[in-house]
Amino acid sequence: MGTQFLKNSNFSDQYDVNFSRRNNSKKDYGDTSSIVVVGASHAGISFVDKVRKNGFRGSLTLIDRQKGGPMQRPPLSKGFLLETSEKPNSKYLLKTSKWYKDEKVFLHTNVTVSKIDLRKKSLTFNNGKNLDYDKLVLATGAAPRMLPAAQGIPNVFVLRQPDQAMAIRKIAHSARNAIIIGGGYIGLEIAATFRQIGLEVSVVEVADRLLARVASPPVAELLAGLHQERGVVLYTGNGVEEVFQNNGLFSGVKLTDGKNLIGDILVVGIGVTPDSDLALRAGIETETTTGGAVLVDEYQLTSDPDVFAIGDVAFQRGSPLRLESIHNAQESGVRAAAAIMGKPLPAVQAPWFWSDQYDANLQSVGIVPMGDRNVYQVIRGEFPEKRASFWSYRDNKLLAVEAVRDGESFMLGKKCLEENISPDPSLISDLGFDPMAWILKNSARAE
Ligand code: FAD
């Protein structure tokens, strides 16, 4: 795998740097400070990009235990799985090798940071080497949960990293029956992609509906309908009682309602745990002692004055929930880059997310509180067939907008949430009502 990335994308796992060259890099910038970032994915790269744009001239080092050039994650459950090549397509790279050279970002891949010494401000790697830092940024992301009973079986997968997606697509294109455990976004996106490949797909979800942690009931209903129309069999309110194997390979599951399903590939999409072990062992404050996110303030600063945390691994104290999205990875990286350079923090945007399933693009902005009986949705559009948006309110206060095939409503909802404007819920369903005119009128009034 590693060499495939190398050949394909012109990356080397020791790209452009060895640890002893760090001092030379300081000279290049006429600046003696060094920032080290652990985790070269959406958050880490966004930070590095922005801190350079903010004028940081010291040495910048990005470390990742993945092999080869860092790749985008969202395509891994979508277009990436449809491809059949033995090598990942370089169009999914987060940045080209030229970018790292131009920005003088030293990228070390295929190396794991195993220890942080906060007192010495030094990292230890699994190859025994050390690297000192002035400021450290933890962008270690999150690790997918596995069903304990399915652990270690060769045709059972979780999906987070490109090498896992490569392994899945290698089997998926010759498999017949896929079982997906977990009816969250990742599980449903994989289900949609597997149907496009031609597999028979079953999705098993322990909650009584899909997307129970992340989407409003009508959005879940719309997407459930979409999957059923395309032939996916949904088993909600069902857990896995037993995992079957045949000659050491996964062959099926017994559900808690007693039904047996056969499958020649199992993908487990039951959520992730923040990858905070490194921070926890160093004595940095985390939410809980195991699997809890790294606690940060609005500057993304941890309990240590020289260590920042961004992306999926971080949790801002006082926030309603930990976000797992590209927007959060990028925004938190930008915030840490401003904080380190003493620049004003950028305005906080309403959190947003997207998902693609078949021909349906879902865009969601704001947070839909789950299990709150006072929250209700107003539907705008041609539900359930075509484009529609779902406006979540508590009393008359707009909380979130989820838009399916409806980029216009998503943008309107985003603007409303960012300007703290709640269009009258009784008017939203009326397609003659123009929320934009309402926003303009209310913004003018506010000024
Ligand atoms: P990660 O992407 O998890 O990266 C963390 C990196 O840190 C990893 O590369 C890891 O190897 C490295 N690392 C960890 N510990 C160490 C260590 N000790 N030493 C060295 N390296 C280390 N979000 C959306 O908004 N829209 C989508 O459509 C969407 N689709 C997705 C589809 C898939 C299949 C997946 C997996 C995620 C998707 N997401 C989507 C979520 C989004 O990708 C994540 O929120 C985002 O990747 C988080 O970025 P991050 O940089 O914080 O963490």
187 ligand 1 Cβ < 6 A: no
Question: Does the beta carbon of 188 lie inside 6 Å of ligand 1?
Answer: no
CB 64 within 8 A of CB 40: yes
Is 160:272 a contact under the CB 8 Å cutoff? yes
State the Cα–Cα distance between residues 307 and 279, nearest whole angstrom: 9
* C-beta atoms surrounding 208 within 10 Å: 9
The 3-state DSSP class for residue 67 equals coil
- From the list 150, 161, 118, the residue with the least C-alpha distance to 308 is 118
In this structure, are residues 251 and 262 in contact, taking their beta carbons and an 8 Å threshold? yes
CB count, 10 Å around CB of 324? 18
CA of 44 to the centre of ligand 1 (A): 10
AA letter at 153 = I
Ligand 1 neighbourhood includes 74 CB (under 6 angstroms):
yes
Q: Encode the chain (447 residues) as per-residue pLDDT tens digits.
A: 222 222 333 455 544 333 333 333 333 334 669 999 999 999 999 999 999 999 999 999 999 999 999 999 999 999 999 999 999 999 999 999 999 999 999 999 999 999 999 999 999 999 999 999 999 999 999 999 999 999 999 999 999 999 999 999 999 999 999 999 999 999 999 999 999 999 999 999 999 999 999 999 999 999 999 999 999 999 999 999 999 999 999 999 999 999 999 999 999 999 999 999 999 999 999 998 777 999 999 999 999 999 999 999 999 998 888 889 999 999 999 999 999 999 999 998 899 999 999 999 999 999 999 888 899 999 998 765 678 999 999 999 999 999 999 998 999 999 999 989 899 999 998 888 887 777 777 765 555
- Looking from the CA of residue 76, the nearest atom of ligand 1 is 34
| Calpha distance 290→287 (Å, rounded) | 8
Q: Is 366 in the pocket of ligand 1 (CB under 6 A)?
A: no
Q: Are 382 and 252 in contact (CB under 8 A)?
A: no
Whether the model pTM is above 0.85: yes
Instruction: Please list the residues that pair with 244 across neighbouring strands.
Output: 252
- Residue 278 burial class via C-beta count within 10 angstroms: exposed 0-12, middle 13-18, buried 19 and up: buried
